[in-house]
């Protein structure tokens, strides 16, 4: 599906990362990849995983730094020339703002969560634009239902995801005339490093599996396959969309009588 295509995947931290699942699926479909690592602490992990793929580009990029973003995309430009897809699977909020009540969110915590989890999509889309402009492209980000419903414990991250989803629509409107599509995948809860920062995450996982129409947890591989579809020719008619890969959890309004709340 992706033979001859070149893609950037941002957000691999370890083998559980959704970004890593997407890297494996897109590489298997024939894409040549560039992966980032956030900092030196994660570099060895990312390089070790990357070594199992077909020689991807690996370079640092902390999305809070405009200089890092510029340097990363310069490396991509030098090696690839053009870019067909970009996957943004990056999010962060300070731990203290994910504990307790949303009403106690600090000004700084709000700023950091929005900078890393929402603004960074626009920053990297802008950096990718010159590499995609002349031949189209596909940008995919990752979101969660806490953007549109109050999920207690998800707190400021839910507000940042709402900003991220709105950014998807504005970027889709801006970049559509260049043939560039921008979409989000709203994934059900998956046990990753970022997810473990959410209070009550284990309970959330169990509840989801019990209540979602498919009655099982969301798997990284099914999120990765949807990303593969969206970045491929198969997804060519879709932009500005949020696609749910959550076993149908988002459509449920009432917990079935025989299931735990
Ligand atoms: P993860 O911890 O594996 O990935 C998060 C990534 O964000 C890490 O690679 C981390 O290095 C990166 N990151 C954080 N701050 C950064 C910065 N300043 N610069 C560059 N990178 C930075 O967790 P994940 O669950 O795979 O998260 C990927 C995406 O999926 C996130 O947007 C997350 O909100 C979203 N998501 C996750 C779930 C879930 O339950 N795991 C559900 C829905 C959506």
Going by pLDDT thresholds of 50, 70 and 90, the confidence category of residue 255 is confident
Predicted TM-score (pTM) of this structure? 0.97
Of 37, 154, 244, 249, the catalytic one is 154
| Cα 200 from Cα 75, distance rounded (Å) | 40
Task: Quote the ligand 1 centre to 195 CA distance (angstroms).
Answer: 8
Sign of the Cα pseudo-torsion (20, 21, 25, 28, in order): positive
Residue 184: strand pairing partners: 141, 242
Tens digits of residue pLDDT in 1-29: 999 999 999 999 999 999 999 999 999 99
Closest CA to 190 of 255, 229, 114, 246: 246
pLDDT of res. 134: 85
Terminal-to-terminal C-alpha distance of the chain: 41
DSSP percent split of the chain into helix, strand, coil, nearest 5: 50, 15, 35
For residue 261, pLDDT beyond 80 = no
Q: Each residue of 68-89: pLDDT tens digit? A: 999 999 999 999 999 999 999 9
DSSP 20-39: HHHHHHHHHTT-EEEEEESS
Give the nearest ligand 1 atom to 19 CA.
26
Selecting among 37, 92, 119, 144, the annotated active-site residue is: 144
pLDDT tens-place string over residues 36-79: 999 999 999 999 999 999 999 999 999 999 999 999 999 999 99
pLDDT by residue (tens digit) across 156-189?
A: 999 999 999 999 999 999 999 999 999 999 999 9
**Pocket mutation for ligand 1, best pick of 18, 60, 162 (most atoms within 8 Å of C-beta):** 18
The C-alpha atoms of residue 185 and residue 89 are separated, in whole angstroms, by 10
> How far away, in angstroms, is 141 Cα from ligand 1 center?
10
38 C-alpha to center of ligand 1: Å?
A: 11
Ligand 1, from 11, 24, 148, 247: best to mutate by most atoms within 8 Å of Cβ?
11
Structure tokens at 189: 């809860």
- Residue 154 bears catalytic tag: yes
Q: If we measure between CA atoms, which residue out of 63, 64, 65, 6 comes closest to residue 34?
A: 6
The reply to whether 249 belongs to the active site is no
Q: Where do the domains of the chain lie, and which CATH numbers do they carry?
A: 6-251 (3.40.50.720)
**Residue among 22, 21, 246, 259 nearest 148 (CA):** 246
């Amino acid at each position: 599906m992706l033979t001859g295509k070149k893609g950037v995947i941002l957000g691999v931290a370890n083998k559980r990362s959704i970004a890593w699942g997407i890297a494996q699926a897109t590489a298997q479909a024939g894409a040549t990849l560039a992966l980032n690592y956030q900092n030196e602490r994660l570099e060895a992990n990312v390089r070790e995983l990357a070594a199992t793929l077909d020689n991807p580009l690996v370079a640092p990029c902390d999305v809070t730094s405009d200089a890092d973003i510029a340097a990363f995309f310069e490396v991509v430009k030098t090696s690839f020339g053009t870019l067909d897809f970009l996957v943004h699977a990056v999010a962060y909020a300070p731990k203290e703002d994910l504990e307790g009540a949303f009403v106690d969110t600090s000004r700084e915590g709000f700023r950091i969560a929005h900078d890393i989890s929402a603004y960074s999509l626009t920053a990297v889309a802008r950096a990718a634009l010159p590499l995609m402009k002349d031949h189209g492209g596909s940008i995919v980000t990752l979101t969660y239902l806490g953007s549109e419903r109050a999920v207690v414990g998800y707190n400021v991250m839910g507000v940042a995801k709402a900003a991220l989803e709105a950014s998807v629509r504005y970027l889709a409107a801006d970049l559509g005339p260049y043939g560039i599509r921008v979409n989000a995948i709203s994934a059900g809860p998956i046990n990753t490093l970022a997810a473990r920062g959410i209070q009550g995450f284990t309970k959330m996982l169990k509840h989801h599996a019990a209540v979602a129409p498919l009655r099982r947890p969301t798997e990284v591989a099914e999120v990765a396959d949807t990303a593969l579809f969206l970045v491929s020719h198969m997804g060519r008619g879709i932009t500005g969309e949020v696609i749910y890969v959550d076993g149908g959890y988002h459509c449920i309004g009432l917990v079935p009588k025989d299931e735990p709340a």
